Chain A
Amino acid sequence: MTPTSTAPQTVLGLETSCDETAAAVVRRHADGRAEVLSSVVGSQIAAHAPFGGVVPEIAARAHVESIEAIAEAALKEAGLGYGDLTGVAATAGPGLVGGVMVGLSFGKAVALARDLPLVAVNHLEGHAVSARLGADLPYPFLLLLVSGGHCQLLEVAGIGACRRLGSTIDDAAGEAFDKIAKAMGLPYPGGPELERLAEGGDPTAFELPRMLLGRKDCDFSFSGLKTAAARLAEGVTHEADRRNLAAAVQEAIAGQLAEKSERAMKAYAQAHADAGLRFVVAGGVAANRTVRARLEAVAQKNGFSFAAPPMAYCTDNAAMIALAGAERLAAGISDPLDAVARPRWPLDAAAAAAAPTHKAGRKGAKA
Chain B
Amino acid sequence: MIVLGLDTCLNACSVAVLDGGTVLAHASEAMARGHQERLAPMVQSVMAEAGLTFEQLERIGATVGPGSFTGLRVGVAFAKGLGSALAIPAVGVGALEALAAEAGGLVAAAIDARRDQLYLQVFEDGHALMAPDVLPLGTAAARLAELSMGRPLTLIGSGAPLLADAARGADVRTPDGCDARHVAKLAAARSPGPLRPLYLRAPDAKLPGGRDP
Which residues of A are at the interface with B, using a C-beta cutoff of 8 A? 50-52, 55, 57-58, 60-61, 63-65, 67-68, 71-72, 82, 97-98, 101-110, 112-115, 336-341
Q: Which of chain A's residues have a CB closer than 8 A to the CB of B84?
A: 68, 71-72, 82, 106, 110
Which one of A51, A52, A98, A338 lies within 8 Å of B40 (CB-CB)? A338
Chain B, residues 61-101, CB within 8 Å of chain A (1/0): the string is: 00000000110011111111111111000000000000000
Task: Let me know if B80 and A67 touch, CB within 8 A.
Answer: yes
Q: How far is the CA of A114 from the CA of B213 in the complex (A)?
A: 41
Give the Cβ gap from A317 to chain B, nearest Cβ, in Å.
19
> Quick check: which of B31-39, B134-142, B145-153, B160-168 contacts chain A, the rest being far away?
B31-39
Can you name the residue of chain A whose Cβ is closest to the Cβ of B37?
A338
Q: With A57-B204, A112-B54 in contact, is A67–B38 under 8 Å at CB? A: no
Chain A's interface: helix, strand, loop or mixed, by majority? helix
Please provide the 8 A-B residue pairs with the shortest distance between their CB atoms, ordered closest to farther: A109-B81, A57-B203, A337-B40, A106-B81, A113-B85, A105-B77, A108-B40, A68-B80
The contact sample of 14 A-B pairs, CB cut-off 8 A, is A51-B205, A57-B205, A61-B73, A63-B77, A64-B80, A67-B77, A105-B39, A106-B84, A108-B39, A108-B78, A108-B81, A109-B77, A109-B81, A113-B81
Q: Which of chain B's residues have a CB closer than 8 A to the CB of A107?
A: 81
Q: Which of chain A's residues have a CB closer than 8 A to the CB of B38?
A: 338
Chain B, residues 30-56, CB within 8 Å of chain A (1/0): the string is: 000000111111011000000000100
Give the number of A-B contacts (CB < 8 Å). 113
Task: Let me know if B208 and A106 touch, CB within 8 A.
Answer: no
Is B207 in contact with chain A by the CB < 8 A criterion? yes
Q: With A104-B36, A108-B40, A338-B41 in contact, is A64–B70 under 8 Å at CB? A: no
Q: With A52-B208, A104-B36, A337-B44 in contact, is A113–B86 under 8 Å at CB? A: yes
Give the Cβ gap from B145 to chain A, nearest Cβ, in Å.
34
Can you name the residue of chain B whose Cβ is closest to the Cβ of A81?
B87
Give the Cβ gap from A92 to chain B, nearest Cβ, in Å.
10
Can you name the residue of chain A whose Cβ is closest to the Cβ of B76?
A64
Q: Which of chain B's residues have a CB closer than 8 A to the CB of A104?
A: 36
Task: Let me know if A113 and B82 touch, CB within 8 A.
Answer: yes
Q: With A51-B208, A68-B84, A72-B84 in contact, is A106–B69 under 8 Å at CB? A: no
Task: Let me know if A61 and B197 touch, CB within 8 A.
Answer: yes
Q: How large is the interface on B (under 10, 10 to 19, 20 to 34, 35 or more residues)?
A: 35 or more
Which one of B70, B78, B205 lies within 8 Å of A98 (CB-CB)? B70
Q: Which of chain B's residues have a CB closer than 8 A to the CB of A98?
A: 69-70, 73
Task: Let me know if A105 and B207 touch, CB within 8 A.
Answer: no
Q: Which of chain A's residues have a CB closer than 8 A to the CB of B85?
A: 82, 109-110, 113-114
Q: How far is the CA of A178 from the CA of B35 in the complex (A)?
A: 34
Q: With A60-B69, A98-B70 in contact, is A50–B78 under 8 Å at CB? A: no
Give the Cβ gap from A336 to chain B, nearest Cβ, in Å.
8
Q: Which of chain B's residues have a CB closer than 8 A to the CB of A103?
A: 77
19 new A-B contacts at CB < 8 Å, known A55-B205, A57-B203: A51-B207, A51-B208, A51-B213, A52-B208, A60-B69, A61-B73, A61-B197, A101-B36, A101-B73, A103-B77, A109-B40, A109-B77, A109-B79, A109-B85, A110-B84, A113-B85, A114-B54, A338-B38, A341-B36
Q: Which of chain A's residues have a CB closer than 8 A to the CB of B69?
A: 57, 60, 98
Which one of B54, B78, B203, B208 lies within 8 Å of A105 (CB-CB)? B78
Task: Let me know if A340 and B77 touch, CB within 8 A.
Answer: no
Give the Cβ gap from B109 to chain A, nearest Cβ, in Å.
23
Q: Which of chain A's residues have a CB closer than 8 A to the CB of B75?
A: 105
Give the Cβ gap from B192 to chain A, nearest Cβ, in Å.
13
Q: Which of chain A's residues have a CB closer than 8 A to the CB of B207?
A: 50-51
Give the Cβ gap from A70 to chain B, nearest Cβ, in Å.
11
Give the Cβ gap from A16 to chain B, nearest Cβ, in Å.
9
Q: How far is the CA of A340 from the CA of B78 in the complex (A)?
A: 14
